[in-house]
């Protein structure tokens, strides 16, 4: 990857506000905002440099958002429960993520996001990584177009989340 892009003050304010809101909804604490911002900047620069989404990128994003819980070189090694629901066994995560990446081109961004969240590849930080990936796949990763994924699980904290297109024109690759 080339040298990191320079962001304007306005762009950074937008990114930090977006990350802070997601971290608030996730109850991950104020100290998790810098990790999500770092993961966003890495992903945005990767997209601008023409990079692709792969298993290694997803593992790195998990580590950037939760470095104490998610080693950079692997997915979760334990089973997890979210909202009282046991997620898929940890032994199936690598195959499920690989399948999603292989077959995900046929899915709409919201369906890809749903599958990613159901796989839940990390001990923590799945919603934050999923949000970044949702924006990548939606074509809204630019700071001026960032949005939140739809509230698929009827989380009352997210009642005011806009629909996926957020009421604006979705950018083309040339907008980046």
**Looking at residues 1-26, what average pLDDT do you find?**
89
Q: What is residue 83's predicted lDDT score, i.e. its pLDDT?
A: 86
Indicate the pTM of the whole model.
0.89
Asked if pLDDT for residue 95 goes beyond 50, the answer is: yes
**Using 50, 70 and 90 to split pLDDT, how confident is the model at 129?**
very high
For the cut 90, the answer to whether the pLDDT of residue 23 exceeds it is yes
pLDDT category of residue 176 using cuts at 50, 70 and 90: very low
Residue 99 pLDDT class (50, 70, 90 cuts): very high
Which 8-state DSSP code applies to residue 161?
Answer: P
Average pLDDT over residues 15-42: 96
Percent of the chain with pLDDT over 90: 81
**Please, what's the b/e burial string for 127-151 (b: 16 or more CB within 10 A of its CB; e: otherwise)?**
bbbbbbbbbbbbbbbbbebbbbbbb
Tokens of 160: 């005011």
Angle of CA points 62, 59, 81, to nearest 5°: 55
Q: Which two tokens stand for residue 127?
A: 């919603």
Q: Helix crossing, 126-138 with 33-48: angle to 10°?
A: 30
Query: CA 75, CA 68: separation in Å to the nearest integer?
Result: 13
Report the alpha-carbon angle 132-136-140, nearest 5: 100
Task: Give the pLDDT confidence of 43-91 residue by residue, as tens digits.
Answer: 999 999 999 999 999 999 999 999 999 999 999 999 999 989 999 999 9
């Amino acid at each position: 990857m080339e040298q990191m892009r320079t962001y304007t003050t306005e762009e950074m304010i937008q990114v930090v506000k977006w990350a802070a809101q997601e971290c608030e909804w996730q109850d991950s604490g104020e100290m998790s905002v810098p990790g999500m911002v770092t993961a966003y900047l890495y992903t945005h620069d990767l997209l601008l440099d023409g990079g692709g989404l792969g298993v290694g990128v997803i593992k790195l994003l998990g580590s950037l958002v939760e470095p104490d819980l998610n080693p950079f070189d692997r997915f979760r090694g334990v089973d997890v429960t979210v909202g009282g629901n046991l997620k898929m066994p940890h032994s199936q995560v690598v195959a499920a993520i690989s399948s999603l990446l292989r077959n995900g081109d046929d899915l709409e961004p919201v369906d890809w996001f749903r599958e990613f969240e159901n796989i839940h590849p990390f001990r923590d930080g799945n919603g934050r990584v999923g949000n970044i990936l949702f924006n990548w796949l939606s074509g809204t990763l630019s700071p001026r177009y960032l949005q939140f994924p739809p509230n698929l699980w009827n989380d009352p904290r997210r009642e005011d989340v806009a629909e996926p297109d957020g009421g604006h024109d979705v950018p083309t690759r040339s907008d980046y």
